Structure 1
Amino acid sequence: MRILLAVHHFPPRYSAGAELYVMRLARALLRHGHQAEVVCVETIEATEPFRVDVESDQYAGIPVWRLHLGLQDAPAQWSYDNLAIAAWFAQRVQIFQPDIVHLHSGYLIGIGALRAAYAQGIPTVVTLHDYWFLCPRITLLRGDGSLCPQPPADPAECAWCLHLDQRRYRWPARFSAGLAGKVWIALAGQTERTRQQARRDTLRAALAQADLVISPSQFLANLFKEWHIPVQTIRLGLPHESFASIPPVQAGSTIRLGYIGQIAPHKGIHLLIRALKRLPPNGKPIELRIFGNLDQHPAYTRSLHHLIGGDPRIHLAGKFSHDQLPNVLEQIDVLVVPSIWYENSPIVVLEARAAGRPVIASRSGGLVELVQDEVDGLLFTTGDSRDLARQLQRLRTEAGLLERLRDGIQPPPLLDEEMQIIFQHYTALVERRTASRGIG
């Protein structure tokens, strides 16, 4: 089979969950004798004229097409329905002749790959890694930092939420207890309402046309029930052999906490630092190592430095290559996932499980499907540093807790098992297309 994979970013410059997942999928396809190509957005230049430049590349044996977007004078719908990207995909589909086009997330790259596939009768698969189809901010995290339980009925509320990224809107909203937003929506929201409704309608129609929609978590799948779009939950898998050499957690003189992932506000690292600093000074020593790219969001990194304030227990360890992950996990006893957004199915939690590391995580989103509270980890109230501090303190005071959580860990699904399910779906879609052509 020939599979065209489309995703917002790709290694080596980017290495978040969706990017690493697509790399694993592409490698698995190539390993099983299939052909696979990846299309991603490499750079965005807001000051360049609206255009799409493309470069051909190879990464880890995977053919990669890297798009460079210029956004000056770009049409309003560029962020989800970029016609220039769609035109390039139409050409690439004609040349590569894929059996399947598989879109991951949709962020930045938009629905151009789906449009090109539909036009040529090629089956399409969409994997939902985040909330891009539902939320223009992608995270279901409002501009004021609060969680959005679900997309609001009035799309003008989404427009107002986007405005809250700007201080001139955020301050009036804060000091008016929400009244400013209601007034704006009532008086000035019609144009933005129409624009956001167009986004919803376009993305809903595109997703409804997909032959298969996949979610790694049931939480995310459930959010699409109102759209009446069937979403199949397929759990992520891991190659266990990568973690086999990591020694098991042993109760030592110091409890070693770790955060591994993006250094970004929605990941809640500030919450973890505050929780650690709430702990009483006496008791078993505890330290925190934060692994991730410190240059991705410089302002947030500066705020973390300020919050740490020279505390010797907290270390900003910086980024690492993915092949160093086993070594990183070996340096910690417990992984903490303090996200303030609804995580879907973070691969790092599965990697911690494969390494035998308990996880302390926010009680929200797909995390509650991955972490069994009091069995293989601990859950805390999302956004509550006091509750997180309470769970951290238990590691210091409850004899045998760390060992009990460690012993309760079950290994995550195998990558080969997940890939087999994906390949079976691919095969079924290709056979269905072949049969329909034969009938015609």
Structure 2
Amino acid sequence: MKTIQAVARYFPESCGGIHIHLSEIMPVLQAMGVESKVAASGDEPKEDFYTYKGVEVYRYPVFPTPKPEPNHGASFHGGFEHFARWLKEQKADIYHQHQWTPKCGLPHLRLAKELGMGTAVSVRLPQPICQRQTLMLNGEEACDGKIDPVRCGYCCGVSQNLPASVVKSLSYLPVGVSQAAAGVMRRLEKAPGSIEKTANALLKPIAIPGFAAARLQGLQEMAKYADRIVVMSEWVGEALTINGIPREKLFLLRHGIAESFADAYKQTVLQPKKPGEPLKVGFLGRWDRTKGIHIIVEAVKSLPSDVPIELIIHGVASNDEYRKQVLSRIGDDPRIRVAKQLKREELGAALSGFDVLTVPSQWLETGPVVVLEGHAYRVPVVGSKLGGIAEKVKHGVDGLLVPASDVKAWADAFAQLALNPDLLYKLRQGIQPVRTISMEAVDSLTLYQSILAERSELAAYNVGASLQLQPL
């Protein structure tokens, strides 16, 4: 079986979790007889071909940089003809797209479908559904994901003084008009406050409702051209179905982690923590507000000095301004240590040194894989009661779930674990063996086989129907 794995960028560039995970699962699929090639966009005005860790990579040019909305790339980007020519030459069985952006979006998926390939799209972020890109309604609570230009408009800053009927009518504006309004807002981001505020008040009603409507249309187009839409968490499937995506299109494919991580479960010896020893709370993730580092910093700083705790932050460079704000808030607090950014091969050693892994995300995660990695080292997770975290952590069994932005609730959870070693030991005992990437690969193969089988049945049906129509 030959597959194309499509992403918006790829190694050796700086990449995120989507690309790391893809690079880990492809060799496992290869051992199962699934050949993979990577198609990824590049910012240079020419094609590039190379091999990365034994996998052929094709970088197709995207120039000039496409406008960010609609996020699924409703129209062809510059240089698309290069991608089209290459994809036609591949004659692949399966085209699997892992992102939904102007550089890797609807035109790419549609072409694969037109070429007769089996098609799958993985929804790995809230972005294809949510204009705010977090699935947090008004930035405060989990949203059901229903795309409504009026509700989405108000959520993203359109004045509620504007009647719903007007907001609804503005959602029918041509996308080009919405793009122009958004472009003006971006250019005025650094203008004096009064000018930016006035511009936003005038232009958001023109931009936001139209973009929300385009998101819904994008999902409908995704369902039209994808044989399967792959979701990693149940909440993503519910958010898609509430927007009219047929359930039979969905395929739940939960994450797995590399065996090198999973094997740590068998090798980890459980030992009770001695009373009085500081609770070592670890954080692994990006310096970004959506990851919630500020929440756990505030939680630790609010604890009495007699609560034995140490917070160790291994942040990944992302938003430097946010990082500076958090560091300023930490100050010289001896209970909080900002450690180095870790390499992939250093994660295991870091995890084995934690008593607790904290995942304080302020948005709906589709994973995150770090929960599995923590559990592989028998480390309980204290995580936000949101999205994929809430699906992976069993409260009171292998971790604790906390209201995402409630600093007091986070502080109480940390204090409870720091002062009650028996609870910590109980949670460690409750952790079960984790799902491996080999298990995920088996399910991926099932996904691909089901797509091909369905297409074969459809082809056979069409042939039969055609024969019945032939004159005797």
Same-fold call, TM cutoff 0.5: yes
Against the structure 1 CA distance between its residues 95 and 73, is the aligned structure 2 distance closer, same or farther, given a 3 Å change threshold? closer
CA distance in 1 between counterparts of 2:260 and 2:140 reads: 40
Q: Which amino acid aligns with 2:53?
A: A
1:247 has 2:275 as partner? no
1:138 has 2:157 as partner? no
SS at match of 1:83: coil
Against the structure 1 CA distance between its residues 260 and 165, is the aligned structure 2 distance closer, same or farther, given a 3 Å change threshold? farther
Cα shift at 1:273: 0.8
Q: Which amino acid aligns with 2:323?
A: T
What value does the CA root-mean-square deviation take over the aligned residues? 3.3
Provide Cα deviations, 1:72-104, integer angstroms capped at 9, x if missing partner.
675954762351365333222111111111111
Provide Cα deviations, 1:329-375, integer angstroms capped at 9, x if missing partner.
12212110001101122000011111111000011112111101111
Taking the TM superposition and a 5 Å limit, the aligned residue runs for 1:124-135 are 124-135=119-130
SS at match of 1:260: strand
* Pairing partner for 2:379 from 347, 353, 357: 357
Provide Cα deviations, 1:391-420, integer angstroms capped at 9, x if missing partner.
000012124111000000011223222211
Cα shift at 1:222: 0.6
329-338 or 224-233: bigger deviation: 224-233
TM-score, normalised to structure 2, is 0.80
Would the aligned equivalents of 1:125 and 1:210 in 2 still touch at CA under 8 Å? Answer: yes
Q: Which amino acid aligns with 1:130?
A: L
Match of residue 404 from structure 1: 426
1:23 has 2:45 as partner? no
Match of residue 32 from structure 1: 32
Match of residue 402 from structure 2: 380
Against the structure 1 CA distance between its residues 255 and 148, is the aligned structure 2 distance closer, same or farther, given a 3 Å change threshold? closer
CA distance in 2 between counterparts of 1:346 and 1:7 reads: 19
Match of residue 109 from structure 1: 104
Cα shift at 1:208: 3.5
Match of residue 222 from structure 1: 238
1:61 has 2:64 as partner? no
Cα shift at 1:63: 1.8
Taking the TM superposition and a 5 Å limit, the aligned residue runs for 1:26-425 are 26-41=26-41, 53-67=46-60, 69-71=62-64, 74=67, 77=70, 80-84=73-77, 86-107=80-101, 108-141=103-136, 145-147=139-141, 149=143, 150-154=145-149, 156-157=153-154, 160=157, 184=202, 189-190=205-206, 192-229=208-245, 230=247, 231-245=250-264, 247-248=268-269, 250=271, 251-252=273-274, 253-284=277-308, 286-294=309-317, 296-425=318-447
SS at match of 2:36: strand
SS at match of 1:237: coil
SS at match of 2:121: strand
CA distance in 2 between counterparts of 1:385 and 1:145 reads: 16
Provide Cα deviations, 1:257-298, integer angstroms capped at 9, x if missing partner.
1111222110001111111111110133x212222323x211
Cα shift at 1:302: 1.0
Cα shift at 1:139: 2.2
Would the aligned equivalents of 1:152 and 1:158 in 2 still touch at CA under 8 Å? Answer: no
66-75 or 191-200: bigger deviation: 66-75
Match of residue 432 from structure 1: 454
CA distance in 2 between counterparts of 1:158 and 1:120 reads: 40
SS at match of 2:47: strand
Q: Which amino acid aligns with 2:300?
A: L
Unaligned residue ranges in structure 1 (runs of 5+): 44-50
Cα shift at 1:319: 2.3
SS at match of 1:117: helix
TM-score, normalised to structure 1, is 0.85
CA distance in 1 between counterparts of 2:191 and 2:398 reads: 43
CA distance in 1 between counterparts of 2:49 and 2:413 reads: 49
Would the aligned equivalents of 1:249 and 1:357 in 2 still touch at CA under 8 Å? Answer: no
SS at match of 1:366: helix
Larger radius of gyration: 2
Against the structure 1 CA distance between its residues 329 and 72, is the aligned structure 2 distance closer, same or farther, given a 3 Å change threshold? closer
CA distance in 2 between counterparts of 1:401 and 1:270 reads: 26
Q: Which amino acid aligns with 1:276?
A: V
CA distance in 2 between counterparts of 1:399 and 1:202 reads: 50
Q: Which amino acid aligns with 2:129?
A: L
Match of residue 2 from structure 1: 2
CA distance in 2 between counterparts of 1:135 and 1:102 reads: 22
Unaligned residue ranges in structure 2 (runs of 5+): 159-181, 464-472
